[in-house]
Structure 1
Amino acid sequence: MQIYVVKENDTLDSISAAFMVSAEDIAYDNQIAAPYPLAVGQALLIPTDEENFQKREVYVNGYAYPYIRNEVLTETLPYLTTLSVFSYGFTPSGNLIPPKTDDSRLLHEAWQQGVAPVLVLTPFDESGMFNNYLISEITHNMTAQQNLIDQMFLVMEEKGFAGIDLDFEYILPEDRVAYADFVANVRAQASPKGYFVSVALAPKTSANQKGLLYEGKDYKLLGAAADSVLLMTYEWGYTYGPPMAVAPINKVREVVEYAVTEIPTEKIDLGIPNYGYDWTLPFVQGASKARTISNVEAVQIAIEHDAAIQFDQTAMSPYFRYEKDGLQHEVWFEDVRSLKEKFQLITEYGLRGMGYWQIMRLFRANWLLLADTFDLHRPIE
């Protein structure tokens, strides 16, 4: 595979001729719809006969809501090791709350394609909202904790889950050790049953980093407690923040550099965002709200408004500006160039693999680049 950046006056046919690759293959791999318009600065993945003989094996996880479109799910599963079903919640007494949409279809499709389904546990209450009180209660009330663990195992056995992912955020500093003990307790009871346990970690760059997102997450303790960890290396650019890259590689690298000092590299998965944001300018703190878009949609917006896509050499991320209805917009997203940078970081540090938040929107070029770069660890052959 090669990456080509579209220049002025390029057409799909001219690129096809230059690489001696069919225009249909380029269009399909990059999800370009007829009449095949292109944006200046757009990064295209070009299929070639060259084969990478020095691939290393990685674990690949994808998060999905139970209502994911079936055609997206079935096309994505061949590139995954595990499928994390988002999400189960719980009550203060430890009663498990299933997703509002039945997840049986996801588990069936996953096992059919040799992918291990994972039960994601998040502190969502009965209304489906995040509830910080639940974290304190379940980490300190051992009766409720054991009830939750028992109920998880019952559901996992009934439905066929292969593992558990603990996705707890905004843990209070005073619950730091208790939360790590909870993770360790889940793993101690899960391992004899053949289940694995992963834990999601906020993107810290030091042990004493301040902020509610960070203080309750102890990398060393959680790295020891779980079978694997996911570094949530995204959301620098986010819905309510100013325009910037969602996962700037310079910031991602800082997190990885700290993580490997606390956690064995063979336990670490790098978080990768499968989305971008469209901000209306000017940005006003407390008032502005970016719109979440797919990476494919971002390119379509650039084409529609004749905007040239730029590439930030520090963040190693694509972006552009356009005008609509008299208002300026700024868009940041991921393309095969930014993803290649993240793949190189995984290789450089010898990380276990990666986890995608989330796979609801198909980005075919990402999966093709992934398969060209790595060998996929499959739990079931």
Structure 2
Amino acid sequence: MKKFVCFLLAALVCGAACAKQPDALFYLMGTRKSINSFTAHIDKIGTLVPTWYGVDKQGLVNGAPDPYVLELSKQHRLPVMPIISMTDGRDGFHQFMHDETAKQHMIESMLQQAEEYGYVGYQFDFESISWTDRDAFTLLAKQTAEALHKHGLKLSIAVVPNAPGHAGGGQFAKWMWQYWRGVYDIAALSKYADLICLMTYDQHTRWTVPGPVDGMPWMLEQLKYALKYVPKEKLSLGIALYGYHWFTGNPVRADGTESSNIEGAYMDADESIPLARERHITVQWDPVEHESWYYFYRDDMREWVFMPDAHSFRDRYDLVKQYGLEGFCSWVLGSEDPKVWDELPVVSR
């Protein structure tokens, strides 16, 4: 009886302690502060996705790993899954997807470099694609995934959230569907890809009025929609680490013409937090959107800052665990509130 009780207690303890932690996927840019963040927090990163590769319309893959980042990743047994993106724009990508020879060139290069550098796979980060190329994009994912899988490699795909599944009513929603959301057949893509990274950020952008980067009601809507088509074991929730600063720009254009010019610029935590402190601003917390924000005046005009911080990160990380998702994907190392790292455990490798 005593042995059984001990076994039961051990099982209960392990159930709490041995439960799989969500995979912490972080994107890495080639900037100094991005690499510094990677170096400082490597033991809390589950998968590293660096922005090392691009492909042109002829299928030529260009790029190379950062030797320091690659060596440190190997020392820490950190899986590296580089991004591959398009370098020739929307029309170039359309041409590429309808060229079987070009696609084969890309796949062969991906396989060669994965073997040379020890990557676990790649992530497709193809954006700004016409919705009319939906089937062509799915075919590209299928062909690439099948080739990678034969060599023990993985394919993940970053997708723009596309609830409610159609273009919506307004002209901006129509434009978003035409060139950003409509191309991703997430049900089909999830059959071939090993992981779908749902980019649940940039709800509001430089194209829009000021607002949360990834407000919680919007994020929940997009997550629940995606879960209708993607198994939770294959779904990674996008969590923004950067913020936005909206302000009135120069009304005089480079060509001398005049027009309204409301600008939205990226603002990382190493800028937004000090700015609030310098101007003696009390940062506000929105309990509905679960995001921090503030405003201030310059030249008698209000400027807005929305800043995902450690509090907003914690709430979204809790969402990942609540829904039992594979993990989360955060753009981008170096932009985060330093206190974000207090929310994450050390990764067991």
Q: TM-score range by the shorter chain?
A: 0.7 to 0.9
* Match of residue 117 from structure 1: 80
Alpha-carbon deviation of 1:361?
A: 3.1
Q: What is residue 232 of structure 1 aligned with on the other side?
A: 199
Return the offset for 1:313: 1.9
Aligned residue for 1:114, secondary structure, equals coil
| Aligned residue number for residue 77 of structure 1 | 42
- Name the CA shift for 1:283/1:321 in 2 (closer, same or farther; >3 Å): farther
CA–CA distance in structure 1, aligned partners of residues 287 and 311 of structure 2: 11
The corresponding residue for 2:340 is: 366
1: CA distance between counterparts of 2:339 and 2:98? 45
CA RMSD, aligned part only? 2.3
Q: 1:156 pairs with 99, 108, 114, which one? A: 114
Q: Give, in whole Å, the separation in 1 of the partners of 2:260 and 2:124.
A: 30
8 Å contact kept, 1:281–1:330:
no
Alignment counterpart, residue 139 of structure 1, candidates 89, 97, 114:
97
Partner of 1:10: none
| Residue 331 (str. 1) matches residue 305 (str. 2) | yes
Distance 1:241 1:208 in 2: 20
TM-superposed CA distance for 1:255, in Å, is 0.4
For residue 224 of structure 2, the aligned residue among 257, 264, 270 is 257
Alignment pair present for 1:306 and 2:280: yes
Asked if 1:107 corresponds to 2:65, the answer is no
Unaligned 5+ runs, structure 1: 1-51, 126-130
**Structure with the largest fraction of helix:** 2
Partner of residue 64 from structure 1, selected from 15, 22, 28: 28
- Quick check: 1:250–1:315 contact (8 Å CA) kept in 2? yes
TM-score by length of 2: 0.84
Counterpart selection for 1:188 from 146, 157, 166: 146
Aligned pair count reads 317
CA distance in 1, matches of 2:330, 2:41: 11
Structure 2 residue runs without a partner (length 5+): 1-15, 168-173, 252-258
1: CA distance, partners of 2:141 / 2:124: 8
Deviation by residue 1:231-269 (Cα, 9 ceiling, x = unmatched):
000011222322111010110000001000001010000
Q: How far 1:328 sits from its partner (Å)? A: 2.4
Structure 1 residue 151 displacement after superposition? 0.9
Deviations 1:7-31 (A, max 9, x none): xxxxxxxxxxxxxxxxxxxxxxxxx
CA distance 1:104–1:137, change in 2 (3 Å): farther
What do residues 167-187 of structure 1 show as CA deviations (whole Å, max 9, x unaligned)? Answer: 111222221112111111111
* Deviation sequence 1:255-310 (CA, Å, 0-9, x none): 00100000101000001111111222599996221232222432211111111111
Q: Deviations over 1:128-177 (max 9, x none)?
A: xxx11232223221111111100111122222222110011122222111
Secondary structure of 2:50 counterpart: strand
Work out which of the residue numbers 159, 173, 180 in structure 1 matches 2:131. 173
**TM-score, normalised by the number of residues in structure 1:** 0.78
CA contact (8 A) 2:268 2:335 kept: yes
CA distance change for structure 1 residues 111 and 249 in 2, over 3 Å: closer, same or farther?
Answer: same
Give the Cα separation in 2 of the matches to 1:190 and 1:273: 29
Query: 1:121: how far off?
Result: 0.8
Letter in 1 for 2:25: N
Partner of 2:159: 201
Which amino acid in 1 is paired with 2:309? D
In the aligned structure 1, how far is the partner of 2:18 from the partner of 2:339?
A: 20
AA in 2 matched with 1:95 = L
Q: Distance in 1 between matches of 2:193 and 2:272?
A: 36
Task: Report the equivalent of 2:238.
Answer: 271
**Alpha-carbon distance in structure 2 between the residues aligned to 1:83 and 1:218:** 25
- Go from structure 1 to structure 2 and tell me whether the alpha carbon gap of 1:171 and 1:240 turns closer, same or farther (over 3 Å shift): closer
Assess if the C-alpha contact under 8 Å between 1:242 and 1:283 holds in 2: no
Determine helix, strand or coil for the equivalent of 1:289: strand
The alignment partner of 1:61 has SS state of strand
